[in-house]
């Protein structure tokens, strides 16, 4: 991100002087007004102090993915939050990259969207040059190299790879990322197994997301779900998580009532 910050600053054509810190790789700390003959008539109070946010903009989400015999399931909620504010209830946190690959995003929405667009562009260029798709491992390695600013393998079955913002890559059979992930893991660990059918896998992913969104304030609204196989990805219709939660509670209450009645 340092490169983009420097490029944006180079594009400015105003007479501004930047104070930087040598310990922080020349990160701008604050702006100083240039000397001017009319500086007495144009003076901002305490202009050399850094402007701070009135409150920290923490963020959270619930995204998950797991491998089963029928392919890969990826699911996520649709709430974008900024601290205690619900910024948008209907964002898309799962992005198809090509016909057999989707990515889920967690963290700063603007950064994720930027890197997703760059990744899509690079994969398309690779396919045009080599007349074949870049493998999942190759895609993860490419994204990792782009993030850390520092040969691909052919696919052999489904892959699930987590790429952190510091460039670290982890491959596994189950991942959940975001502030709602502890709740999602609680559901996934109890129900995930290789022999799940497609309907069972979809039901498990939906339950993991809507349970997490019920407990996590930063997740909520809807659930997006993708199923990825060797034939490509397919997307389920977006569902309202609140209605799903109350439908589940109603089913449980009816079951308890019948049990007590019998």
Active site residues: 61
What is the C-alpha to C-alpha distance for residues 67 and 117, in angstroms, rounded to an integer?
A: 25
HEC-encoded secondary structure of 225-256? EEEEECCEEEECCCEEHHHHHHHHHHHHHHHH
Do residues 177 and 212 lie in contact, with contact meaning Cβ atoms separated by under 8 Å? no
End-to-end CA distance of the chain: 64
What is the C-alpha to C-alpha distance for residues 109 and 201, in angstroms, rounded to an integer?
A: 27
What is the C-alpha to C-alpha distance for residues 140 and 256, in angstroms, rounded to an integer?
A: 47
Task: Give the contacts of 104 (CB within 8 A, at least 6 positions apart).
Answer: 63, 64, 65, 74, 76, 93, 94, 95, 177
The first and second tokens of residue 150, run together, are 């520092």
CA 85 to chain centre: 18
The first and second tokens of residue 229, run together, are 């196989």
């Amino acid at each position: 991100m340092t490169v983009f910050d420097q490029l944006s600053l180079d594009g400015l054509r105003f007479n501004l002087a930047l104070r930087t810190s040598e310990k922080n790789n020349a990160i701008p700390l604050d702006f100083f007004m240039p000397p001017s003959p009319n500086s007495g008539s144009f003076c901002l109070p305490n202009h050399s102090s850094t402007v701070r946010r009135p409150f920290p903009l923490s963020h959270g989400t619930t995204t998950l993915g797991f491998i089963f015999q029928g392919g890969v399931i990826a699911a996520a909620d649709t709430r974008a939050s900024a601290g205690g504010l619900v910024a948008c209830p209907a964002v898309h946190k799962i992005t198809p990259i090509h016909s057999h690959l989707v990515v889920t995003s967690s963290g700063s929405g603007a950064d994720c969207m930027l890197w997703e667009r760059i990744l899509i562009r690079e994969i398309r260029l690779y396919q045009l040059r080599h007349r074949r798709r870049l493998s999942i491992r190759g895609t993860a390695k490419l994204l990792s190299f782009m993030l850390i600013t520092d040969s691909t393998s052919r696919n052999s079955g489904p892959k699930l790879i987590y790429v952190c913002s510091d460039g670290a890559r982890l491959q596994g059979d189950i991942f959940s990322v975001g502030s709602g992930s502890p709740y999602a893991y609680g559901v996934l660990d109890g129900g995930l197994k290789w022999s799940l059918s497609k309907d069972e896998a979809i039901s498990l992913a939906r339950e993991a997301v809507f349970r997490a969104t019920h407990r996590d304030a930063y997740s909520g609204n809807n659930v997006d779900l993708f199923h990825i196989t060797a034939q490509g990805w397919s997307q389920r219709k977006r569902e309202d998580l609140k209605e799903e939660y109350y439908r589940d509670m109603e089913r449980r209450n009816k079951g308890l009532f019948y049990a007590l009645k019998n």
